[in-house]
Amino acid sequence: MLDVQALESGYGESVILRNVTLSVRPGQCVCLLGRNGVGKTTLMKSIMGALKARRGAVAYKGADLTRRPPGDRAKRGIGYVPQGREIFPQLTVYENVLLGLEAGRGKRGVVPDAAVDKFPVLPTMYGRRGGDLSGGQQQQLAFARALASEPDLLLLDEPCEGIQPSIVEEIRDVIRSIKAQGATAILLAEQSLEFVKSVGDYFYILEKGQVAWEGGPEALNDEVIRRYLTV
């Protein structure tokens, strides 16, 4: 589904990502780990197209997206829950969800049930302004907005950061049910090891913008965690 090949990316003069190669298949939740500032968000933005690749390639469903703009990537079925959520505070909850629909491939004006089924509180708040929601509710909204686009690839950037435990559990359930359906690929950047171990099928650890380690759940042992992830 997603193949990132020898990607180099950064901001202005500074190169952040070097030679990053990874892939994600349908039904898989692939986790991106690494200490603060190693480049996880930069990689998400590069896959979404918000940052241009300087070298290397981003391929999705066999098509080369490397030079395609973010809007085109969304239309092709890449959904994004950005770090910090990026809810539009002046728009209502419903309008925020509709934005996901417009950005992606959903049927115009019809929010798919699957986008909000898992977050039953959202439809009860449709008329409220996004900015008036709690952090956890905004995270649910960001998730629903991405699911409204009916993505085949879902990019999740630290969805549990600063979120109350009950909503973390909801997010865990949503990820598990998406995996169980088997069609959507998930790339998840997350600091909580407990969380990624509970949903992850394969792991890449970044260090200074490069893939320093990769492997399956059985290989992600205490030694690896101490070496690459312990602060």
CB nearer to ligand ATP: pick between 42 and 96: 42
The CA distance from 187 to 165, in Å, is 21
Which whole-number Å values give the CA distances from 3 to 10, 50, 128, 161, 197, in the listed order? 19, 17, 39, 26, 22
CB nearer to ligand ATP: pick between 26 and 84: 84
Here the tokens at position 111 are: 């929010």
Q: Least distance to ligand ATP from the beta carbon of 231, Å?
A: 11
Which secondary-structure segment (H or E) carries 56?
strand 55-60
| Site residues (vs ligand ATP, CB under 6 A) | 11, 16, 34, 36-42, 83
Q: Least distance to ligand ATP from the beta carbon of 158, Å?
A: 6
Q: Least distance to ligand ATP from the beta carbon of 160, Å?
A: 12
CB nearer to ligand ATP: pick between 82 and 100: 82
CB nearer to ligand ATP: pick between 40 and 118: 40
What lies within 8 Å, CB to CB, of 15 at 6+ separation is 8, 9, 54, 209
CB nearer to ligand ATP: pick between 41 and 94: 41
The CA distance from 161 to 143, in Å, is 13
Q: Least distance to ligand ATP from the beta carbon of 150, Å?
A: 26
Q: Least distance to ligand ATP from the beta carbon of 39, Å?
A: 4
The CA distance from 97 to 104, in Å, is 11
The CA distance from 209 to 207, in Å, is 5
The CA distance from 85 to 94, in Å, is 16
